[in-house]
Structure 1
Amino acid sequence: MLLDRSFRRTLIARLLSSAGPSAAAALLVAAPGCGGEPEADEAAAETRCFEWFDELGACLSREQAFEEFRTIHPFCVSDEEIVSVESEATRRDGACCYEVIVEPASPCAVGRPFSLEGQRRTAAPRPDEAGWLARGQGAGPGGLQPSLADLTDEERETLAEGWLRSALEEHASVASFARFALDLMALGAPSSLVEAAHIAALDEVGHARLGFSLASAYRGEPVGPAALPMPRGVPVAADLVALARAAAEEGCVGETVAALVAAEQRARAVDPAVGAALEAIADDEARHAELAWLTVTWAIGVGGEPVRSAVADVFEAAAKSLRRPPPAEAEPPRGRAAALAAHGHLGDAALRALSRAALAQVVLPCARALGLWRPRDLDSTRAPAAS
């Protein structure tokens, strides 16, 4: 599957600019894959372990274990996702074991996830909540008014659920970027990165409004977020390694993929209201991805090899995900799929294919070009065949 060439090339150029303008221009031409044509049931707790040695001391805490599991099953690109760690560790045969909640991995979400205490958090939906609707963009209950003509009740319900899920993720991203700004300040980042983090948080407010507005329009009644679950004290990144690893996983991988996926959704959307919303989201997510790559570059410059190694591990985990075949997934009938795509909704199989193409055609080639990762298997970075 080939991604939109214009958006892809523009995004690549922006990501590579973290190496400097002249280097970016050279790398855009020289880097393999960069710029040119590329080669739910209810979750139940499971026990998952990772190897541990007595010399390392006590097992990791629940929150630390959640971060470790995310390295093993990286955000956005794994076939399965550990969404929470439910217990403290127990030692078993040279391993630390935890009770965890495992779900089939969703295709890459738009926005940066907000994780606390070993759990990814979003607010619950709140019916009749109008405080998060877009303003001045139409007469519909959600501020944006897509065309509902020719949509069946089932299609409207699917679209409402999809946009509501996206809106709740964007809503949580506001908190994620607010904490990211604190992480940057606590670790002495330059003002340009701190400023960009705050701008990104405001972008996510806008994205959440768009999502709740579209969800409300398809539902026929307002819907918004309840309170976001939040402890009294929100921890900041412990060090540059933790900051860079999170930025690489959630930004260099997650938001780069999300920007490209949103651009593809925009290209396939027919409804003008949906197309306008996706255009704003794709452009903003591209800037957020750029912020992540710039943050990683800065952190490596300050923290040196330990930071570079942690970042390389993130990209290697993403590369490994491409070596595994995607899970078999049923798609809706062609006519229904087209109707949903016209309103910005793509099936899981299509989204996963786009995510894999984004990794192969943009994320991994650019990580390699910038010296952030060296592939252990050169074939692993080859883009999936066009379809």
Structure 2
Amino acid sequence: MLLDRSFRRTLIARLLLSAGPSTAAALLIAAPGCGEPETAETADAAETADIRCFEWFEELGACLDREQALEEFWTIHPFCESEEEILSVESDATQRDGACCYEVIVQEAGPCAVGRPFTLEGRRRTAAPRPAEAGWLARGSAKSTGPGGMRPSLAHLTDEERETLAEGWLRSALEEHASVASFARFALDLMAHGAPSSLVEAAHIAALDEVGHARLGFSLASAYRGAPVGPAAFPMPPAIPVAADLVALARAVAEEGCVGETVAALVAAEQRARAEDPAVRAALEAIADDEARHAELAWLTVAWAIGAGGEPVRRAVAGVFEAAAESLRRPPPAEADAEAPRGRPAALAAHGHLAGADLRALSRAALAQVVLPCALSLGLWKPRAAAAAVAPAVSA
């Protein structure tokens, strides 16, 4: 799968400029682009019924109802955190050994390609959705198709397709909402380790970008569901730890920014290229462009951290890219018997929703065509000799 040439080329140029204008120019003149097309046979995500539980105490009273339970699952197992995604709660609760258990519909989750996650103790956190919440809807702007927010066309969509789109955009919005907190903490990390003001300023600007992305996502989700929806209070602990040292800071930035946000920018650009609805295209254009700047900030931050912290930081960053390369060495998911998509794939794609198999293939292509080749070109990673083909030389 070959990513959008124009967006890919522009992003590559910006990332390589972190090594200096002359280096980037030489690489791009010699070979304008990164990587070769990546093809991967992957399966559509299969939806299955299963039992899932969360801890509960008698002092809290009765277990939650189905709607409340789904919100709880989204809070403790947010979108992109694990290998599965909980789509719906199909039964009332059954109490088992201090837990509330429900029959749920789950599917294999696609890769996370939205913003920068907020992580504590190895777990990603998002707020739960809150119905009838108008405080996070997009404001009227030149990119808005109507006053007060993004208004996609609902004509020719089935009820099932509208539900699928509402769920998808809501999960995306909750991740973007969490990214606001992530960038706020990133700014604190930078200040705690003496980063230059340009990086601190860019981190705060990125947080404001994520506020805008969340508003766009909640507006689209609200439009598809026919009622406003936004985030409940964010599950923020009393104390937020900052990165212990430059090694920890650089490792997190490489994982979440150099890999995660670079992939996110490229995937959003592909979603925009396939989308047909004007409001959705406008939202994805804004998201893709901003995520590209956030990716650039990550690569610049890693370069600064290596300059300040030396070889230990460089080794930590190289380990992140090696882990990304290892993910490509593993074969894609085997063909599985998947249930029919919840709507027509073409209609969903026209509104920015891609199947899990498409997202996995796009993410693999982004790693192979952009992330790893650019890490190699910038001297941030060297592939193992036996797997050098994973990181092709910078080429069209």
TM-score above 0.5: yes
Residue 344 of structure 1 pairs with residue 352 of structure 2 = yes
- Kindly report which structure 2 residues correspond to 1:1-387, keeping only aligned pairs within 5 A, or say none: 1-30=1-30, 34-35=33-34, 37-38=36-37, 41=50, 80=83, 106-136=110-140, 137-139=144-146, 143-327=149-333, 328=335, 330=338, 332=340, 336-376=344-384, 377-382=387-392
* 1:139/1:145 contact within 8 Å kept: yes
Q: Deviations over 1:329-353 (max 9, x none)?
A: 6485698100000000000000000
> Distance in 1 between the 2:21 and 2:162 partners?
46
How far apart are residue 230 of structure 1 and its match? 0.7
TM-score w.r.t. length of structure 2: 0.79
Structure 1 range deviating more: 144-153 or 319-328: 319-328
SS of 1:224 mapped into structure 2: strand
SS of 1:343 mapped into structure 2: coil
Structure 1 runs of 4+ with >4 Å offset: 36-45, 78-81, 331-335
Q: Deviations over 1:313-370 (max 9, x none)?
A: 0000000111111114648569810000000000000000000000000000000000
Q: Deviations over 1:107-128 (max 9, x none)?
A: 1221000011332100000000
* 1:167/1:208 contact within 8 Å kept: yes
> Distance in 1 between the 2:169 and 2:189 partners?
30
Query: Gaps spanning 5+ residues in structure 1: where?
Result: 46-74, 82-102
* 1:112/1:173 contact within 8 Å kept: yes
Count residues with an aligned counterpart: 332
SS of 1:151 mapped into structure 2: coil
The 3 A distance-change label for structure 1 pair 180 and 160 is same
> Distance in 1 between the 2:138 and 2:129 partners?
16
* 2:317/2:380 contact within 8 Å kept: yes
The 3 A distance-change label for structure 1 pair 44 and 381 is farther
Partner of 2:102: none
The 3 A distance-change label for structure 1 pair 379 and 36 is closer
> Distance in 1 between the 2:33 and 2:242 partners?
34
The 3 A distance-change label for structure 1 pair 378 and 118 is closer
Q: Deviations over 1:275-329 (max 9, x none)?
A: 0000000000000000000000000001011000000000000001111111146
The 3 A distance-change label for structure 1 pair 311 and 30 is farther
Identity %: 83
Query: Gaps spanning 5+ residues in structure 2: where?
Result: 39-46, 55-78, 85-106
TM-score w.r.t. length of structure 1: 0.80
